[in-house]
Amino acid sequence: MPIHIENEANRCLTCKVPMCSKFCPIHTPVPEIIKLFREKKVMQAGEELFMNNPMSAICAIVCNHEAQCRGHCVLGRKGTPVQFYEIEKFVSDGFLDRYRPENIEKKDKRVAVIGSGPAGLTAAIVLARNGYDVTIFERKNEIGGMLRYGIPDFRLPKSLLARYQKLLKRLGVQIRLNTTIGGALRIDNLFRDGYSTIFVGTGVWRPNTLGIEGESLASVHFGISYLENPGHHELGKTVAVIGMGNVAMDVARTAFRHGAEHVMLFSRDNHATASSHEMSYAELDGTEFIYGKTIRRITPEGPIFSDSILDEEGNLIGVKSEEELVKADSVIIAVSQGPKDKLIMSTEHLEGTSKGLLITDENGMTTVEGVFAAGDVVTGPLTVVHAAEAAKKAAEAMMRYMEEH
């Protein structure tokens, strides 16, 4: 039965040292929001949530609540923790279309934001709200990044992104779609054209490969490529997914919704990296989890595995020599992602780690003066709330930088 959010708000103890806020990566002021909500100051609560976290309406839906706010509620020690995110969802959803930016003092400085995932959107909103003239450059034909092309619609309705797009318009943010920076236009060109600072939030879009034979067969796909356009794939009835992270869970659940009848997820050790919630939903959808299998190669008939040799903790320490074919109509590889290297290749002095992630200082500034970065392109694949938190900090540092230069 769905909870009633007023009852839920009334259960909150409004702790003096709220563990929910402490373990929320963007430190949402939970007790303050609850107090405003109880006083029926819902729009004020919405504004406070939005000012702290422009992605609040999205985080309330997709955060790993068990590991963050809900999982640390003190009421959960002996009973049922408060489901604050349901209150956040109601409040932030109601606020989104009603937000009217007022009394913004224009700064007469132009800022470029590369990428329109949660990092780019957060940076753009924070900067525009503070009077900067913001242009977003997005290589796809729609905004949202992994919110649109990764997280499936049945978990996060895409209509939310259209509402964010309207909000950006009200803030005066300009959006240039179908424009890859590092292609025809480069970071140098943006400085040439008068952008004072540049924010990079380009995420991680290059699927990791397994480096095994068979990866280029017609029946093999990468997880994030499949999720981008599941309707354009014909997976057949039996699908083998290599990997047991959150992306693999979304792949499995999406495959079931597009006609698959048997979806198996394989892990080479005894662990899954997905959150327990995502796993339980995938299990309810009918996914089969198979542990301790190391992939050897992929054939048109399906993947070939050997049994893994595991230590007492279930970690991989070796692989047995016998091989076994698992019959499948298609194979999906979902073993994480890394960044594409267009920006590093096209920008002098822009440095990355050995994995191609951008190197930044404590203010989020990259190795190029005036170019800041945050989100997955800096940390590797994390979460929406982590991207929003880092982008907010970087946007604040950009504003300090622009005041000084």
Closer by beta carbon to ligand FAD, 81 or else 203: 203
Q: In the complex, what is the shortest distance from the CB of residue 152 to ligand FAD, in angstroms, rounded to a whole number?
A: 7
Q: Which residue has the tokens 């299990």?
A: 283
Report whether 259 contacts 286 (CB < 8 A): no
Structure tokens at 192: 């040439």
Binding site partner of 250, from ligand FAD, ligand SF4, none, Cβ cut-off 5-8 A by kind? ligand FAD
Binding site partner of 37, from ligand SF4, ligand FAD, none, Cβ cut-off 5-8 A by kind? none
Report whether 110 contacts 195 (CB < 8 A): yes
The separation between the first and the last C-alpha atoms of the chain, rounded to the nearest angstrom, is 56
Binder of ligand SF4 out of 12, 36, 59, 332 (CB under 6 A): 59
Helical axes 30-38 vs 84-96, angle rounded to 10°: 70
How far is Cα 374 from Cα 363, in angstroms, rounded to an integer? 10
Q: Which residue has the tokens 């800096």?
A: 378
Report whether 58 contacts 147 (CB < 8 A): yes
User: Nearest 5°: phi and psi at 294?
Assistant: -100, 125
Report whether 28 contacts 60 (CB < 8 A): no
Closer by beta carbon to ligand FAD, 281 or else 305: 281
Binding site partner of 68, from ligand SF4, ligand FAD, none, Cβ cut-off 5-8 A by kind? ligand SF4
Closer by beta carbon to ligand SF4, 37 or else 205: 37
Query: In one letter, which amino acid is 263?
Result: V
Report whether 24 contacts 68 (CB < 8 A): yes
- Give me the 5-44 binding string for ligand SF4, x by CB under 6 A, dash otherwise: -------------------x-x-x----------------
25 touches ligand FAD by CB under 6 A: no
375 touches ligand FAD by CB under 6 A: yes
Binding site partner of 65, from ligand SF4, ligand FAD, none, Cβ cut-off 5-8 A by kind? ligand SF4
83: Cβ contacts below 8 Å, ≥ 6 apart: 3, 8, 65, 70
What letter would DSSP give residue 381? S
What letter would DSSP give residue 81? P
Binder of ligand FAD out of 285, 382, 396, 401 (CB under 6 A): 382
82 touches ligand FAD by CB under 6 A: no
68 touches ligand SF4 by CB under 6 A: yes
- Give me the 118-157 binding string for ligand SF4, x by CB under 6 A, dash otherwise: ----------------------------------------
Q: In the complex, what is the shortest distance from the CB of residue 59 to ligand SF4, in angstroms, rounded to a whole number?
A: 4
How far is Cα 394 from Cα 255, in angstroms, rounded to an integer? 37
Binding site partner of 60, from ligand SF4, ligand FAD, none, Cβ cut-off 5-8 A by kind? ligand SF4
Distance of CA 247 to the CA centre of its chain: 11
Q: In the complex, what is the shortest distance from the CB of residue 10 to ligand SF4, in angstroms, rounded to a whole number?
A: 18
Q: Which residue, 344, 330, 389, is CA-closest to 122?
A: 389
Structure tokens at 101: 């930016």
Q: Which residue has the tokens 């301790």?
A: 292
Segment 211 to 230, residues that bind ligand FAD, using CB under 6 A: 224, 227
Binder of ligand SF4 out of 50, 85, 90, 305 (CB under 6 A): 85
How far is Cα 105 from Cα 172, in angstroms, rounded to an integer? 13
Binding site partner of 88, from ligand SF4, ligand FAD, none, Cβ cut-off 5-8 A by kind? ligand SF4
Binder of ligand SF4 out of 48, 88, 133, 269 (CB under 6 A): 88
Residues that bind ligand FAD (CB under 6 A): 62-63, 114-120, 137-140, 145-147, 150-151, 180-182, 201-203, 205, 224, 227, 246-247, 250, 342-343, 375-377, 381-385, 387
Residues that bind ligand SF4 (CB under 6 A): 24, 26, 28, 53, 59-60, 63, 65, 68-69, 84-85, 88, 385
